Structure 1
Amino acid sequence: MVDEGVRPDRFVLPKVYKACAELKDYGVGKEVYDYMLDIGFEGNHWVKRRDFSKALKCINDMKVRGVFPDRVTWNSIIAGYAHDGQLKEAQKCFMEMSRSEGLEANVVSWTALITGHEQNGFSAQALNIFKKMVITGIKPNSVTIASVVSACSNLSLSRYGKEIHGYCIKKDVLDSDFSVANSLLDFYSKCQSLDVARLKFSKIKRKDLVSWNAMLAGYAIRGSREDAVKLLQEMELQGIEPNTITWNGLIMGFTQYGDGKAGLAFFYMMREMATCPNRPTISGALAVCGQLQDMKLGKEIHSYVIRNKIELSTGVGSALISMYSACGSLKLACSVFNELPIKDVVIWHSIIAACA
């Protein structure tokens, strides 16, 4: 099952442990446990449901009755807080667990903090936590590596990402891991090492949509339109349908490169395939309109936003302001600004830039 790349769930692992117990095979049982830690499997359903009050109440009840939470319980709470973006609470629980006798943090504890920071936009902090983890002598698992590589991609830390890839190659189990392979593919695509990205892509035996999307986004960022079209055709032959993330990567990637026409072509292609745009799609399409100074299409997209009652969030609102400004209509840019119910620092920057 594992060789086929199928991840065991909470129903499978207990049965495997039971089999090891019946066979009195401690060695295999320990290997299964190590594998469980490697794939980051350790959790609690109350926390996954974001029911922190109930989870924490249980911990307090345990303490009152003289039963103290073990490492698995603490890790569940840390992971839940971190994933939910409550990073201070996660770190507080991490420190409290570490102060408990015999409950030093393990790879799951550290990885929960690293992943939480990376997923919530604090990539630099995620890397700092990773450094501390390595200094303490804790070996990373595949989930740790995938998060750290993603942080390197976000910060464009090419050298650091390559060093981590070198570490993965030395630990062959990590280099062949599916999530690690996808994160490295995304890293090399974003850091403009397309040749390495292509090589990495070709070596992934069971490519999922994440793999295809990462490669397509890499082509878009480098302005390789023909390669992107060929890869989309190859996806179609493989029976893999592009999703909203696929199109967003293409639209925003080509716009970032400066090829607004290509971005617009993929936007139309997306609409032809009846894929519903989300807020990042709309922001990307508006950026294209601004780049091409196509206010007619920009107004059509604005009308689509109004008709479908799409919330004028920071991304869409700032994109509308920038689009109207780029098309020479400061009046309409100010009109959008005045309509926005919430004006954060990004919105203010957009209107200041428009006026300037």
Structure 2
Amino acid sequence: MKAVGVIVEYNPFHNGHAYHLQAAKETAQADLVIAVMSGNFLQRGEPALVSKWYRTQMALLNGVDIVLELPYRFATQKAETFANGAVSILDAIGCHSLMFGSESGDISSFMQTVDYLDKNKERFEQNIKKNIKSGVSYPKALSLSFQTLSSPDNILSLDKPNNILGFHYVKSIIQQNSPIIPLTVKRKNADYHDEHFATETIASATSIRKALFTHQEGKSSIEQYVPVATNMLLKEYLAEYGHFHQWENYWSYLRFRLLQMSPEELSEVYEVEEGIEHRLIAAALESTHFKEFMQKIKTKRYTWTRLQRICVHILTNAKKTDMKSTKEIATYLRLLGMTNNGKEYLNKYKSQFALPLVSKLSAYKEKDIVLDIRASRVYSFGVGIQTRERLLHREYKQPPIYIK
């Protein structure tokens, strides 16, 4: 059985994702799709709209055959680390290819760019350090450094979010010496950060979330932008837990953490560097909600995304010693769900997987998975007291979801 891999967040699953899955199976001529999906906290430092279990159901009901969790240690990181973890999981489970969406849509430009930057690595990295010293953020330093190189034809534009991720996917495949074949499809209509609906059927996840939060009662008109199963599950989640997850739900807990920690304790948290701990504490004293807090701590050097990731690590108490590991690749495969087709693949090839397959938490003890458990516990505080226990204990009691 030939498997094509996808790396996703599905926050939530929408029509653009359905198009991506169809293109993945057709282009790769694959028998099934395996998704590596972020858990309850995401790459941009945000809590997922609904839990990983509901997003797993969305995936399985819309064409994915196996859903594996991208561990917290990778899911809440910059693009390079995010890609390393995800690619290592797809490689370990035997994926033939990886399909990702991009603004480019031309896989040859990704291959050429990775090769070009590898040959100019020393000069490129020197330029990055020089730009960071000037006070700009890392993504900006990366873009400026890339622009200073005299690029040949067919080089990728690295100022687009999906191009950047795709670049790191291809780079990770090459660095890990993986046999995975990278494939890309041009993103359809909606840009990644669009806050408004772009067409009659395709919208970004950002614009869908904005509509849902604007109309928390569930009457927002998103039906034309998401599959029927997604719309059903979003309504079900709202009915079961009362509201969707967003940063404001966690503000009181984050503020408590900041105000009861000393600057020295805070500096031990991952990504808290360069004395920003003092700025965080001062802003927490003066802010009444999360957005106000973020506006107070935002600087030219720190992007909004990086600051949100810092906040996630403070909330989950993810320390530098927890997040930094000698291994830059995953150490286990956490199974969240499967279809009949996926079950057949697992039964057939499980003995050949390069990493242990984890379907029961009680059966596996590992440092990284403790972070995943802690993140799920914290995530449960994003809903009301009456329903929190249900979400809190689902991490332990929920077996992999099986869609027949």
Coarse TM-score class (shorter-chain normalised): under 0.3
TM-score (normalised: structure 2): 0.24
- Higher strand share goes to which structure? 2
Structure number with higher relative contact order (C-alpha < 8 Å, ≥ 6 residues apart): 2
Which protein has the bigger helix share?
1
